Amino acid sequence: MTFYELDPVLNEASEIRSWRHLLGNFEVKQVPPTAVKPHGLDYSLTLHDGDGRRLLEFDNAHAIREGTGPGARTRIEYDHRHKGKRVRFYDYQDAATLLEDFWKEVDEILEERSTKR
């Protein structure tokens, strides 16, 4: 399943904008498949707080290095996620799983924020 097949889901999901003082944004563009983007997508799914700070992002805009020192890892695919200041590899499977994983992380962030109030 591609993002374009999920259009109704994306339109419904984008309603998170300004919900509980959070802003969500999805940017998806078809590109020719390459070694770094084998699924043929440029994507960025983000969640920001009311002050514009990024809380969460799943994207494939750039390569990452996970860890430090001689044990640090890199890989060919650019898929990764940002949560706070941490960046971790993301194992892209398909568009539906990406959306499911994004919303699962959003739910965790909402839960964390609700217990801090």
* 24 vs 1: CA distance, rounded Å: 22
E strands present in 14-104:
22-30, 41-49, 54-59, 65-66, 73-74, 80-83, 86-89
Longest dimension (CA), the chain: 46
Q: What is the pTM of this model?
A: 0.77
pLDDT at 72: 78
CA proximity to 75, closest of 86, 67, 66: 66
| Residue written as token pair 């399943």 | 1
For the chain, the residue count is 117
pLDDT digits (tens, 9 = 90+) for 4-57: 444 444 444 444 444 567 888 888 888 899 988 998 888 999 998 888 899 999
